[in-house]
Amino acid sequence: MGALARGTLAQEVSIPMDPSPGHFPVMLREAVAALAPRPGGHFLDGTFGGGGHTRAILEATAPDGRVLSLDADPAAIARGEPLRAEVGERLILREGNFAGLAGFAREAAFAPLDGILLDLGLSSFQLADPGRGFSFSGDGPLDMRFGPTATETAEAIVNGRDEADLADLIFRYGEERWARRIARAIVRERARAPIATTGALAVIVAGAVASAGAGRERIHPATRTFQALRIAVNRELAVLEEALAGALDVLAPGGRLAIIAFHSLEDRIVKQFMRREATACVCPPRVPVCTCGHRAALRLVERKGLRPSETEVAINPRSRSAILRIAERLP
């Protein structure tokens, strides 16, 4: 099985921590162990981000394992160039959304793949840059695009959608109970002047939630609204479904699919996909004879998702909501 036997516990794997200052790749050891890395294998990292997972996969598959790493963010690809120069042809970098991972793998003559890792969270670099508009901790433009190909910014949504559409978007993608009140406040304030910055939007949302008499929560009152806008701007849920379908097409028999999700919407999609593809028949329970013709394509490596350790959460609080799900491609 190579350097790591399938089923080996994550804590038994020695993987170096990411050297990028301020960057903490989430569940690094668990995610790389989930891929069952081996020398000579072909692996795909769908979100290069700060490069922590990619570097660890390269280390775990030395001396000749190779990684195809994608990212929709041109800045992330630029950050990867020093690593590419360091390891040479062992790393292929491509700017693009992981929705097209199957196409990227085939184009690079990289398929079939021995493992695919998708980290669905934002990178520390994106959150720390006010100019990207992902965070309300620093005032910046309401952008929220992962890459330049996204056609709509958060500012366009906030100032262009009607109240009902805004409320639906915030409720559906942010699971925000005060969605209608927030949408009403946004429409009222934008009638006075366009809402152009993260700081301005965060104040509006916080005011709307406070006026509802909501008690203090662990998270900022604008967190769910910002999540909803980011998901809408980048079509995150649709993109995830496209990526999952593509992963089945390019995974080799025995290849691993490991996905780190950070909120219930994306985790639900991953969980349902893996369970469905691990089931031989998906006919309704009351159908006496199978008519769907569906055959299991995956084996669940973990029946339940893995969570970060208490130590990791203490070091990197952003990891607290992460959940890792793992499946293996059947022959």
Helix H, strand E, coil C: the string for 13-56 is CCCCCCCCCCCCCCCHHHHHHHCCCCCCCEEEECCCCCCHHHHH
Q: Is 190 a domain residue?
A: yes
Of the candidate ranges 73-87, 150-164, 207-221, 257-271, the one whose mean pLDDT is the lowest = 207-221
- Best CA proximity match to 327, nearest among 307, 294, 300: 300
Q: Which position has the token pair 């208490």?
A: 310
Are the beta carbons of 161 and 152 closer than 8 angstroms?
no
pLDDT on residue 12: 42
Tokens of 250: 């390019």
3-state secondary structure of 131: helix
pLDDT in tens, 197-219: 999 999 999 999 987 766 566 78
Answer yes or no: do 230 and 311 share one domain.
no
Are the beta carbons of 71 and 83 closer than 8 angstroms?
no
Q: Is 44 a domain residue?
A: yes
Answer yes or no: do 252 and 186 share one domain.
no
Answer yes or no: do 65 and 15 share one domain.
yes
Of 234, 251, 282, at which residue does a domain stop?
234
pLDDT in tens, 138-160: 899 999 999 888 889 999 999 99
Answer yes or no: do 116 and 256 share one domain.
yes
Tokens of 330: 């059947």
Is residue 3 exposed (0-12), middle (13-18) or buried (19+ Cβ within 10 Å)?
middle
pLDDT in tens, 46-62: 999 999 999 999 999 99
Of 202, 234, 266, at which residue does a domain stop?
234
Q: Is 260 a domain residue?
A: yes
Are the beta carbons of 245 and 277 closer than 8 angstroms?
no
pLDDT on residue 213: 67
Q: Which position has the token pair 């050297």?
A: 19
Q: Is the pLDDT of residue 288 over 90?
A: no
Q: Which position has the token pair 């009152």?
A: 221
What span, in angstroms and rounded, lies between the C-alpha atoms of 34 and 256? Answer: 7
Answer yes or no: do 64 and 89 share one domain.
yes
Q: How many domains does the chain have?
A: 2
Q: Is the pLDDT of residue 41 over 50?
A: yes
Answer yes or no: do 221 and 272 share one domain.
no
Answer yes or no: do 215 and 244 share one domain.
no
pLDDT on residue 137: 83
pLDDT on residue 8: 38
Query: Distance between alpha carbon 68 and the CA centroid of its chain, in Å?
Result: 17
Tokens of 17: 């921590």
Angle (CA) 207 213 217, round 5°: 80
pLDDT on residue 14: 44
Q: What is the mean pLDDT of the chain?
A: 90
pLDDT band (50, 70, 90) for residue 280 = confident
Share above pLDDT 90 across residues of the chain, in percent, rounded to a whole number: 76
Q: Which residue range(s) make up the domain with 220? A: 151-234
CATH of the domain at 167: 1.10.150.170
Average pLDDT for 129-137: 89
Of 189, 207, 234, at which residue does a domain stop?
234
Q: Which position has the token pair 């970098």?
A: 93
Answer yes or no: do 241 and 113 share one domain.
yes
Q: Is 138 a domain residue?
A: no
Answer yes or no: do 40 and 114 share one domain.
yes
pLDDT band (50, 70, 90) for residue 16 = very low
3-state secondary structure of 250: helix
CA atoms within 13 A on the CB side of 255: 20
Q: Is 142 a domain residue?
A: no
Q: Is 145 a domain residue?
A: no
Tokens of 294: 């569906």
Q: Note if the bond before 112 is cis, omega within 30 degrees.
A: yes
Q: Which position has the token pair 């809402």?
A: 195
pLDDT on residue 217: 67
Q: Is the pLDDT of residue 128 over 50?
A: yes
Q: Name the more confident of 3 and 279.
A: 279
pTM of the model: 0.89
CATH of the domain at 242: 3.40.50.150
Q: Is the pLDDT of residue 9 over 60?
A: no
- Best CA proximity match to 167, nearest among 205, 199, 136: 205
- What is the separation, in whole angstroms, between the first and last Cα of the chain? 16
Answer yes or no: do 39 and 186 share one domain.
no
Q: Is 94 a domain residue?
A: yes
pLDDT on residue 122: 85
pLDDT band (50, 70, 90) for residue 287 = confident
Answer yes or no: do 77 and 219 share one domain.
no
pLDDT on residue 115: 98
Answer yes or no: do 159 and 33 share one domain.
no
- Best CA proximity match to 3, nearest among 104, 13, 141, 11: 13
